[in-house]
Amino acid sequence: AEFERTFIAVKPDGVQRGLSHRNCGVMRCGNHSTTILQPPMRDAISEIISRFERKGYKLVGIKVVVPTKEFAGKHYHALKDKPFFNGLSEFLSSGPVVAMVWEGEGVITYGRKLIGATDPQKSEPGTIRGDLAVVVGRNIIHGSDGPETAKDEINLWFKPEELVSFTSNAEKWIYG
Ligand code: DAT
Ligand code: MG
């Protein structure tokens, strides 16, 4: 079957909150003395991947990139007139981003449900932002908001040869 695809990214805050906690003890944290003050959240990357995977969606592309500010601005071009556009582009380019393409029936719309509302204060518990984020400027994850943006964002972040097509063994049990 032909399934739709969406672009999902773990933003720099999501990446840092997972990785920077690894091996940090409370008393001895090496260079990470500030990170132990953050809310305890290990494995933000795998947590996000896990939620899409458990639902039944399929990962068909993934890479770690530090986008330039210009690239971040392209990604968020629809928001270029917003007062927060500059800070937003700066933030997205401030560190590693885990860029992904997920595939499956309804993945664009349902992916947004898994992610939750833009402002984590309004995201329902059980959603990624509701469970794992607090403020709108650090809401840890991006997801395309429709078929057109999904197509544009996938093309912006990935070359065609970086995406795979395959049938997973679980598919007949997920879709019948
Ligand atoms: P979403 O990421 O849910 O698609 P969006 O496309 O409207 O939301 O905005 C993109 C990002 O911009 C959002 O994830 C966080 C940031 N943002 C949105 N509204 C904001 C605001 N009022 N103040 C600061 N940052 C904001
Ligand atoms: Mg958006």
Residue 127 Cα to ligand 1 midpoint, Å, equals: 16
Q: What ligand has the least distance to the C-alpha of 150?
A: 2
Whose alpha carbon is nearest atom 3 of ligand 1?
A: 118
Distance CA 70, CA 89 (A): 8
Q: Which atom of ligand 1 is nearest to the CA of 139?
A: 14
Exposure string for 65-85, b = 16+ CB within 10 A, e = fewer: eebeeebbbbbbeeeeeeeeb
Q: What are the structure tokens assigned to 98, written together?
A: 């885990």
Residue 135 Cα to ligand 1 midpoint, Å, equals: 10
Q: Which residue has the higher pLDDT, 24 or 97?
A: 97
**CATH assignment of 5-175, among 3.30.70.141, 3.40.190.120, 1.10.287.70, 3.40.630.30:** 3.30.70.141
Which DSSP string do the residues of 12-49 spell out, in sequence order?
A: HHHHHHHHTTTT--SS--TT-TTGGGS-----HHHHHH
DSSP 56: T
Sheet with 141-143: strands ordered across: 58-65, 97-103, 5-10, 141-143
Q: What ligand has the least distance to the C-alpha of 88?
A: 1
Share of the chain above pLDDT 90, in %: 83
Q: Is 119 in the pocket of ligand 1 (CB under 6 A)?
A: no
Q: What are the structure tokens assigned to 145, written together?
A: 């908001």
What pLDDT, in 10s, does the model give residues 93-114?
Answer: 999 999 999 999 999 999 999 9
In this prediction, residue 108 carries a pLDDT of: 98
Distance CA 11, CA 96 (A): 7
Instruction: Flag whether the pTM goes above 0.95.
Output: no
Domain ranges of the chain: 5-175
- The reply to whether 75 belongs to the active site is no
Give the pLDDT band (50/70/90) at residue 19.
low
Give the pLDDT band (50/70/90) at residue 131.
very high
